[in-house]
Amino acid sequence: MMDLRARVVYPLTALVTVNTRMSLMSRKVLFPAVIVSFPLLLVLIFRLIFAIWGPPSNDPADQDPYTMYSVLCVSLYLQFVVPLAALLKGMTTFYEEIEEGTLMFLRLRPVPRVLIITGKFLAYVVTVSLLLIISLWSSYAILSSIPGSDMFWGDLKILLKDTWILCLGLAAYGAVMMLVGTYFKRSILMGIFLLFVWDAWAAYIPGSAHKFTIKHYLQSIFPHQRESRGVQGIIDALLSQNTPSSMTVSVITLLLVVAACIALTTLAFQFKDLSGAPEGD
């Protein structure tokens, strides 16, 4: 047990702690912070307007804070914030080491390469998850402050479920982006294609193409899919044609995606030239 702690637990904990602190203190965290804070800014503006001019309409559904929160989660956090934050932060997990040619120093450390990769990846997950939680919980608290709402305590379990599902999405998307960013230089276009073309539109392809997207498994376990209206109704109709996967299958699949991407990134450390020399896509 002590040998396992010395070889795995302590080095991994140190890697996560150091890289998380460096990431939070870096100016490069501002970009994902801005993306994650965008829904919160909209909520603040809406709450200010609500306080000054009252409800936007006489429709009770438009005055329900939980409905607003539900649409916010589905339309912004799940489909915009999580993928884009993963693109901006997950893809650059090893960007500096590759571009500056210092990746060789990571290889020379007396720590298994899989632990180095896992540690830096977990640091990304912790960093962006902290930003996401601050934004999500603040949005929830602000919307629950609308007069007549019993949302704060009544729907707290939903908030907690939203939190771990969105963080799982950050991990899955981030793992894929880490893999793309490690194997390909100037890979931003590939990342955009995977996240905002394939992941967003594969469900429209007849057959089982939707099961090869991260979005399908996140939507399958997300608690708000059946409650949103308007534009989001298109997605509901889409899900009614493509049967959602079960909770167990969805969670296991997303975790397997993370594990597979870490394993493939480890192979890149072992066999691929990551010295920073020019290389085509």
Q: Kindly state the average pLDDT of the residues 119-140.
A: 94
pLDDT on residue 167:
97
Q: Is the pLDDT of residue 232 over 50?
A: no
Alpha carbon of 198 to those of 189, 195, 216: distances in Å?
12, 6, 11
pLDDT band at 84 (very low <50, low <70, confident <90, very high): very high
pLDDT on residue 51:
82
Per the prediction, the chain carries an average pLDDT of: 81
Domains identified in the chain, total number: 1
Length of the chain: 281
Between CA 195 and CA 201 the distance in angstroms is 10
Q: What is the DSSP letter of 58?
A: S
Whether residue 19 lies inside any domain: the answer is: no
Between CA 7 and CA 184 the distance in angstroms is 31
Question: pTM of the predicted model, to two decimals?
Answer: 0.85
Whether residue 6 lies inside any domain: the answer is: no
Whether residue 200 lies inside any domain: the answer is: yes
| Domain around 111 | 27-271
Whether residue 157 lies inside any domain: the answer is: yes
Q: Is the pLDDT of residue 104 over 70?
A: no
Placement of tokens 């608690």 in the chain: 223
Q: What is the DSSP letter of 155?
A: T
Q: DSSP readout, 194-262?
A: IIIIIHHHGGGSSSSGGGGSHHHHHHHH-TTTTT--TTHHHHHHHHHHSPPPPHHHHHHHHHHHHHHHH
Q: In the structure encoding, which two tokens stand for residue 89, read together?
A: 């932060």
pLDDT, tens digit, 9 for 90 and up, residues 24-82: 888 888 889 999 999 999 999 988 988 887 766 665 555 688 888 998 998 899 999 99
